Amino acid sequence: MIATVDPRSGGPIEGIVRQNEALGGHGHREIVSLDPPDAPFLKDFPIPVYPLGVGRFDPESSKSRFRRFGYTPKLVPWLRRHAPEYDCVVVNGIWNYASVGASRVLPKLATPYFVFTHGMLDPWFRARYPLKHLMKQAFWLAFEGPLLRGARAVLFTAEDERRLARGQFWRQDYSEAVVGYGTRDVEGDAEAQIAVFRAGIPALGRRPYLLFLSRIHEKKGCDLLIRAFARAAATRPNLDLVMAGPDQTGWTQRLQQIARECGVADRIHWPGMLSGDAKWGAFRGAEAFILPSHQENFGIVVAEALACGTPTLITHKVNIWHEVEAAGAGLAAPDDQAGVDSLIARFLALDAAAKARLRASARACFEAHFNLKTSAIATLATMAARL
């Protein structure tokens, strides 16, 4: 179960797709979503989907809180009728009608179920939106809390995510498990993919670049990154920045204004969401990948960068920073302006040999920790042990 299978929604649906690929013949998976049946991304989706949304698809719906919540009267009756047919149910994400509907049905059935919170219990949200947190407490008591308490396990993708989630709400008691997570290994011809990516951004030419590839969202620290790049750009006139990803909140215009104020607007490129060869080419061709997030339970894009052997520059709020730093696969710093400034400055100060070591270590880190070829099987085993 998930609110949407829209690829623009970020890591959770990407993780489901990649896990399905990695698990191959290990069972059969189907998805229930709140998407309307005419949503264009449902066509040729690689996993069978039951889209239970109502109305017609609206590409701007992600900017409306009510539409994002995704209420549909079809969900609860569908679950009551069909959930008993499955070996287990996995609820991906909370604070939407997929989890609310699940809370009304699943705790009352014999069908075992699990919940992936995907970082949605992180204290950053409580600190950033204190009034909304009070509303969430009421929501927790009515819906999310009972759902999580009835689960065979609440699944976390990193130890830091599990630790940070504790104590955010009153009556927060449930069974916990940290499971493996990651992405598939990268495939295809590196040079050809880099050529596809660069062809899509003619203004970039052959210039070296730093890469941000994620949702354009306040929690991703994009404003910190632009200001940090502007400081570094003064001494590196040949370096550009690529800001790739979908914008579901309309923040790009403000970020572009910051870039103009900093005098680097002509050196920052905004290709939107990248996929396929263009995405892999962006990772492979980058000097480094940078994700200056204020909150990130895992960061599947970090695993993708590591798979490409690309050094990663991340904040201490990306919950896998310990593994990345310990492996020598990248650099980590606090999620403030000084921290993001230091990430870029420290990386640019490295000589060619040190950068080559980062690249080699990045690939080794992926193989050791984040290759779904092994972690997806481990996750399935963790769940099977609790059925």
64 pLDDT above the threshold of 90: no
Give the Cα separation of 328 and 312 in Å (integer): 10
Give the Cα separation of 349 and 44 in Å (integer): 46
Give 162-166's long-range contacts (Cβ < 8 A, gap of 24+).
Answer: 164/121, 164/122, 164/123, 164/319, 165/117, 165/121, 165/122
CATH topology agreement for domains 7-183+373-384 and 190-370: yes
Task: Give pLDDT tens digits for 155-189.
Answer: 998 888 999 999 999 989 999 999 878 888 999 99
62 pLDDT above the threshold of 70: no
Closest by Cα among 79, 118, 83, 121 to 100:
79
Task: Give pLDDT tens digits for 258-293.
Answer: 999 999 999 999 999 999 999 999 999 999 999 999
Mean pLDDT, rounded, for 320-347: 96
Task: Give pLDDT tens digits for 290-309.
Answer: 999 999 888 889 999 999 99
According to the model, what pLDDT value does residue 377 have?
85
Write a three-state SS string for the chain. Answer: CECCCCHHHCHHHHHHHHHHHHHCCCCCCCEEECCCCCCHHHCCCCCCEEECCCCCCCCCHHHCHHHHHCCCCCHHHHHHHHHHHCCCEEEECCCCHHHHHHHHHHHHCCCCEEEECCCCCCHHHHHHCHHHHHHHHHHHHHHHHHHHHHCCEEEECCHHHHHHHCCCCCCCCCCEEECCCCECCCCCCHHHHHHHHHHCCHHHCCCCEEEEECCCCHHHCHHHHHHHHHHHHCCCCCCEEEEECCCCCCCHHHHHHHHHHHCCHHHEEEEECCCHHHHHHHHHHCCEEEECCCCECCCHHHHHHHHCCCCEEEECCECCHHHHHHCCCEEEECCCHHHHHHHHHHHHCCCHHHHHHHHHHHHHHHHHHHEHHHHHHHHHHHHHCCC
According to the model, what pLDDT value does residue 184 have?
85
* Global pTM value: 0.82
21 pLDDT above the threshold of 90: no
> Across-strand partners of 7?
none
Task: Give pLDDT tens digits for 357-370.
Answer: 999 999 999 999 89
The distance from CA 211 to its chain's CA centroid, rounded to whole angstroms, is 16
Give the Cα separation of 324 and 296 in Å (integer): 14
Specify the fold of 7-183+373-384. Answer: Rossmann fold (3.40.50)
Length of the chain: 387
Contact assessment for residue 272 and residue 246, using Cβ atoms and an 8 Å cutoff: yes
Specify the fold of 190-370. Answer: Rossmann fold (3.40.50)
* Domain positions in the chain: 7-183+373-384, 190-370
The proportion of the chain whose per-residue pLDDT surpasses 90, expressed as a percent, equals 77
According to the model, what pLDDT value does residue 63 have?
52
Contact assessment for residue 181 and residue 379, using Cβ atoms and an 8 Å cutoff: yes
Mean pLDDT, rounded, for 196-222: 96
* Tokens linked to 361: 């270590």
169-194 in b/e burial notation, b at 16+ Cβ within 10 A? beebebeebbbbbbbbbbeeeeeebb
According to the model, what pLDDT value does residue 59 have?
73
133 pLDDT above the threshold of 70: yes
